[in-house]
Amino acid sequence: MTEVDVVIMAAGKGTRMKSRKPKVLHQLAGRALLRHVVDTVASLQVRSQVVVVGHGADEVERALAQPSSVDQALRFVRQEPQLGTGHAVQQAAPLLPDDGISLILNGDVPLIEAATLRELVRSAQAAGGLALLTVTMPDPSGYGRILRGRSPHDAADDGRVLGIVEHQDATAEQRLIQEIYTGVMALPTPWLKRWLARLSPSNAQGEYYLTDIVAFAVADGVPVGACRVQDTVQVDGVNDPAQLAALERAYQRRYAAGLMAQGVRLADPARLDVRGSLLCAADVEIDVNCVFEGQVSLGEGVHIGPHCVIADATVQAGAVIHAFSHIQGSAGEPVQVGTNARIGPFARLRPGTQLGPDVHVGNFVEIKNTSMGRGAKANHLAYLGDAQVGEDVNYGAGSITANYDGTNKHRTVIEAGAHIGSNCVLIAPLTVGAGATVGGGSTLTKNVPAGSLTVARAKQLSLPNWKRPAKKR
């Protein structure tokens, strides 16, 4: 197989987005449009990727420099000023080796599939010529039309591709053509370089059209083929916020369909958002309006209630996440929820939370960088930060670990079987021994011995016949 080198055009300003952000950095399903394209190309195991940047070039290059699944090193070239698609590829041409196939893509077409690109490349390799990706659209307005007819090198009119005419330059008759060029092509690099040198801005836009190379190929007797894609979503670009929103829903519908094909029960597939990767075991149920971000794994029989947000987390078998809970892990500190745990409603689990089996975390409880052993409970209105909580601990309503002294964080250890009463403040660093009981309303600054009852609060005092101060008139 001939080596493949990819050129991704990402220099446009995207005026219709009405945003200061470069168009290719707008997000779809939690990733930049351009990142979708780059990651798809990476799965093809190509030799190189060259990204043509222009508007917001520094910002685009910084965004792609962040770690990702891409194995190949990206290279960038700048198109300044932007003088059309042909001019964009001209900037990349010096970086393309002469012994390969060039695959030309657009950075604002995020849902193109790897299988489609493989087929296009195979077509170019087999014919030794130019392969175009086309699609038929009921309303092709704004797109370049595929011109077919009799080849000048063959007397038969077999509907061969003869050229592409841009919408602005098309006649009224040509504008009736519904087969359009998607902006994706593959061809031997030596031919690409030869034809790029012949481009001219003699058109309505005064730009260098990459599509002009089709007519050059026909004139030179080089085979031109068209691979038609049936799924238009693959080749839909983003030019304005409405198109971005439409592609977002298309992506989510596709993802939801894949989950349901695996057996996941979605209460409403139209009300699911996956902005990363969601892995589900058997008998997972997900209610409406849930958002999954980063890397999320749901074990067998997990139930996710409505309106939950779950990011970078593993939820093990049998766990239930009740409504309106927010599990907020991170790539470096994912959240772990143990088997048969019960979370929420209205709970918040932050990075570094590690919950064991049968743990209960109730409404308006926040947990950060804390482990909880089997059967531990924090059921109401509580905060646990930088803590180690043992098995079967009961953590009372309104209690908090005071883990920050204004400069440093400190840890609290609550050993197995301890009972923390309501409205307590545990000022770290602190250890509550196994089986100890802390009386409600206590503020602790010292370690609590195992098996003891500890109360640290002011003595209750009542003053009879006390009158409140009266306002001066």
Candidate list 167, 326, 360, 380, residue with the active-site label:
380
Picking from 143-157, 262-276, 344-358, which range would have the lowest pLDDT averaged per residue? 143-157
CA distance 170 to 76: 33
Per-chain mean pLDDT for the chain: 93
Supply the pTM of this predicted model: 0.89
Query: Tokens for 72?
Result: 């190949």
pLDDT score recorded for residue 439:
96
Query: In 330-464, at which residue ranges do the beta strands (DSSP E only) sit?
Result: 335-337, 342-343, 348-349, 354-355, 360-363, 366-368, 371-372, 377-380, 383-385, 387-389, 394-395, 400-402, 412-414, 419-420, 425-427, 430-432, 437-438, 443-444, 453-454
- Split at pLDDT 50, 70, 90, the class of 134 is very high
Select from 20, 47, 22 the least CA-distant residue to 34: 22
Instruction: Please say if 360 is a catalytic residue.
Output: no
> CA geometry: angle at 224 spanning 221 and 229, to 5°?
175
Indicate the Cα dihedral angle 96, 98, 101, 102, nearest 10°: 30
Residue 29 predicted with pLDDT over 90: yes
Tell me the pLDDT tens digit for each residue of 361-379: 999 999 999 999 999 999 9
CA distance 191 to 175: 29
Helix (H) or strand (E) holding 339: none
- Say if CB 30 and CB 276 are below 8 A apart: yes
Query: What does the DSSP assignment read for 228-275?
Result: E-S-GGGG----SHHHHHHHHHHHHHHHHHHHHHTT-EES-GGGEEEE
Q: Which residue has the higher pLDDT, 468 or 184?
A: 184
pLDDT score recorded for residue 217:
94
Residue 2 predicted with pLDDT over 90: no
Picking from 133-147, 189-203, 385-399, which range would have the lowest pLDDT averaged per residue? 133-147
pLDDT score recorded for residue 203:
83
**Domains of the chain in sequence order:** 4-235 (3.90.550.10), 255-454 (2.160.10.10)
pLDDT score recorded for residue 472:
84
